[in-house]
Amino acid sequence: MSKVLVVIPARGGSKGIPRKNVRLLAGRPLIAYAIEAAKRARRVDRIVVTTDDEEIAAVARRYGAEVVMRPPELAGDEVTLDPVIFHAVQTVEAMGDAPAFVVTVQPTSPLIKPWRLDEAVALLEEGFDTVISVINDTHLTWTKEADGRYVPLYAARVNRQYLPPVYRETGAILASRREVVRAESRIGERITLLELPPEEAVDIDTYFDWWLAEKSLLRRHLLLRVDGSQAIGLGHVYRALSLAGRLIDHRLTFVMDAAQPMGVELVRHYHYPVVTFEGDPLPTIAALKGDIIINDILDTQADYIRALKAMGLFVVNLEDVGEGAREAHLVINALYDSPIPLPNHLWGPTYDCLRDEFYSVPIKPFTERVERILLTFGGVDESDLTARVLRALDRVEGTFEVEVVLGLGYAYAASLERLIPTLRRRPVIHRHVRRMSELIERADLAVTSAGRTVLEVASMGVPCVVLAQNEREMRHLHARSEYGIVNLGLGRSLSPQFIAERLQQVIDDVALRRAMHERMLAVDIRGGCERMLGAIFERYRAFEEGRDEDDNHREPADR
């Protein structure tokens, strides 16, 4: 005997959206979602689809439901669901089965979760006759009188939270004791409501509903594992924020080290959800139950990546040349290439994600005269290349001005203050810069370290000279002549005289700077964010398909 019978009504004559029940929604027939929810519910014993359509019947059987073909008199537009469900129950009972509870699940509610069906059954077991799924739809509402006048359905205009609750039926679930299911009704005397969250309450009736449901079905929970501090700078955090700005279709959670509050506060300033951890991040990540994790923490360990994969996460690493890079599902290195062509690696400056401000500023036209030079060496400037280049520029001939950007972690402010009065060309100093793009747009030449600023400068077409901060930056593949960059090498090993000679050459050689400008713009850096996200979700879809294929060969874990 089947205690709980799920009946899914699916008529073939849908007019609002033709062939709605078998139309593909996010890659699956619409009716498949209701069947799968019922299959995964713990308390459901039998699943029946009642239909008048052979195509719907075939799809229903393919996804594991039984089929009851309803007679023509129950297939018309004017027929309500009560006699349809009653007919299906009688058909099952004629087969020798007598359910105690009958749960109607509408295929037009594809976002309903399996455990909602279990919750409805549990309420019936508590003694209720009927359980109806609803959504809280409390608003200031109006109605129209018989004489055409519009009148309010509220006593006073107050904020929504002070109004009495108003519940709207979603149509997703109507569960009843068998004894109250009749041809005229499925509602008994003792009724309770099952309130659904908005993301499960979509009822597909129009094409807009369809679009909304598909967006919701494709929505995933992304974890952004990133940190920022004076020591490591904020570049990784800004990139994560840029990615977040383009992931509006998905749920996002930043996972950050509580011991590095600078980055945490920056993310919170932009009002994104942040979960912090102390010590080992793995327990916190496991509790969040994400779908995809993007690690922007430089080199990872293999054990860490294996632990993430064991959680069922799709693992993406950015700028990773550590042991974990081989274990991740996807590694995207805009700054590094791979000495071995690993299949899980993508690299090159066309995969960089610029900060949002660089998409709203125009490309700077080439200027033949160098009238303003911009110096910017990252948030920390560990080798104090700022002072080294300022000394070099004092030896360079020309009538240009110099602007300097100092990062939050710059530790040489005192010595820089002593240096500036000794220079014949006094620079303008900028601290706590909010709009870096505006300073780059003013410059005719930029001198930077080999970090992500090079890509920001290149995206605007401003000729750029690079001095690497350390050996790791020496490996950055984007700071090369093929991309229009003059790379002088490891900055701390270069004398001011050598730097001055190279800068003088670049300033004086108009043809060289024009070629630099043209090579920079030949690289589609501004399309990098979309390219990166496209690669992530393309690989993730393949990952999901492989996991679904595996699931088809095993019993559901929650059955």
d(C-alpha 477, C-alpha 470), whole Å = 14
Strand boundaries in 73-177, DSSP class E: 101-105, 130-136, 142-144, 150-152, 167-177
127: left (phi over 0), alpha (psi -120 to 50) or beta: left
d(C-alpha 328, C-alpha 347), whole Å = 15
CB atoms within 10 A of CB 275: 16
d(C-alpha 321, C-alpha 248), whole Å = 29
For residues 49 and 56, the answer to whether their CB atoms sit within 8 Å is yes
For residues 469 and 450, the answer to whether their CB atoms sit within 8 Å is yes
- Per the annotation, the verdict on 157 as an active-site residue is yes
From 157, 418, 424, 554, the catalytic residue: 157
d(C-alpha 333, C-alpha 349), whole Å = 8
Selection from 175, 193, 199 nearest residue 43 by Cα: 175
Strand boundaries in 288-410, DSSP class E: 292-296, 314-318, 330-333, 345-347, 372-376, 401-406
One-letter amino acid identity for 208? F
For residues 353 and 425, the answer to whether their CB atoms sit within 8 Å is no
One-letter amino acid identity for 372? R
Show the tokens assigned to 70.
């309803």
Show the tokens assigned to 81.
């669901």
What single DSSP character describes residue 164? P
Cite the active site residues: 157
